[in-house]
Amino acid sequence: MNNKKVLALGLSALMLGSVLAGCGKSDSKPEAKAEAPKYTFRLAETHPADYPTTLGDKKFADLVAERSNGRIKINVFHSAQLGEEKSVIEQVQMGSIEFTRVSSSPLAEFNKAFGVFSLPYIFDSEAHEWKFLESDYAKQMLTNLEKSKFIGLAYYDSGSRSFYTKNKVTGPADLKGMKIRVQQNKINMDLIQALGASATPMPYGEVFSGLQTGVIDGAENNAPSYLTANHFQAVKYYVLDAHQRVPEVLMASKATWDKLSAEDRKLIQQAATDSIKFQREAWNKFDKEALDKLKTQGVTVTEVKDVKPWQAAVKPVIDKYNADFKTELEAIAKARN
């Protein structure tokens, strides 16, 4: 904890340093004279500095700084410097961290509707997913986060999640008996159970050692996470079953929001919306690069030509939660057309 604090302080000093250095440049238009920050906020991010979500966060922070003329400063703390996702979400809820970018999956434990994204095979494609994420329904889901003391600002892309394991998996039956790490929510546990494997929920930062020591036999994620968290160094089989598409969420603490003027809220919301395009482009580029890199690093990538056996195996999960997510699933089906 102390080490993290020292690291965080060092990083803020560094960031401050670069802002001051920036001020020295003589490209100043008269109206661009930066004001001293009135607000300095922290944004918690679990991924490393060059990961596509972090790039999105930074774009968002840059737009806010630029448009507020330096008055609102958001420092991005990447690489889980402020803690693992579940604890970060709790701190954002309490108002001790002002902003974060998290996965919908752990968020579902705080706001039930977001659990819909943990259901398997609800989207046909990236296009279908984004048609839904841009719909009024999905926007309303962000707005409804307010009841849980969050202000939902934007969805970011996270591609699709697939299994990576110690032994080769080609079909769902191969997962039987394996211990698989899942993101911390109930639906994920049911999903693993439906596949005859045993689910081990654990924070992201513990997965690497879990895989190395054999506490778990595998996990599941998109290619960028499998690569950048170094999980591929511990387990080398990746089967592209794409069981989930779990969007990322950029959000603020309601406690922070309540202190801001209407104009500042508008500015921050617009910056978040405007950062989406940049994040999605960064995502698509890195998603492909990551898969290529995994292959060159000795990972055996197994394509799934027929997804039907996978869909059939996890159908009990849909059956179990169909009624709970009736309206969400209807809105998702509507976005298919």
Which residue, 85 or 264, has its beta carbon nearer to ligand GTR? 85
For ligand GTR (CB under 6 A), the number of binding residues is: 13
Stretch that binds ligand GTR, among 8-16, 102-110, 191-199, 281-289 (CB under 6 A): 102-110
Instruction: Supply the DSSP string of 51-77, one letter for each residue.
Output: SHHHHHHHHHHHHHHHHTTTSEEEEEE
Instruction: State which residue, 137 or 208, has the beta carbon closest to ligand GTR.
Output: 208
Is residue 248 a contact point for ligand GTR (CB under 6 A)? yes
Residues 213 to 232 in contact with ligand GTR, rule: CB under 6 A = 221-222, 225
Any residues with CB less than 8 A from the CB of 34 and at least 6 apart, and which? Answer: 23, 69, 70
Give the number of other Cβ atoms within 10 Å of residue 82's Cβ. 22
Show the beta-strand stretches assigned E in the chain.
Answer: 39-44, 72-77, 99-103, 150-156, 161-165, 179-182, 198-201, 218-221, 237-244, 248-253, 300-303
Which span (25-33, 97-105, 267-275, 307-315) binds ligand GTR, by CB under 6 A? Answer: 97-105
Q: Which of 150, 204, 232, 283 binds ligand GTR (CB under 6 A)?
A: 204
169-198 positions binding ligand GTR, by CB under 6 A: 183
Per residue in 252-288, is it b (16+ CB within 10 Å) or e — as a string?
A: bbbbbbeebeeebeebbbebbeebbebbbebbeebbe
Closest distance to ligand GTR from the beta carbon of 334 (Å): 26
Continuous segment of H or E residues that includes residue 282: helix 262-296
Q: Taking CB under 6 A as the rule, does residue 164 contact ligand GTR?
A: no
Give the integer Cα–Cα distance in Å for 68 and 196: 53
Rule CB under 6 A: say whether 160 interacts with ligand GTR.
no
Query: Does residue number 200 form part of the binding site for ligand GTR (CB under 6 A)?
Result: no
Residue 158 Cβ vs ligand GTR, minimum distance, rounded to whole Å: 5
Binding region for ligand GTR (CB under 6 A) = 46, 53, 85, 102-103, 105, 158, 183, 204, 221-222, 225, 248
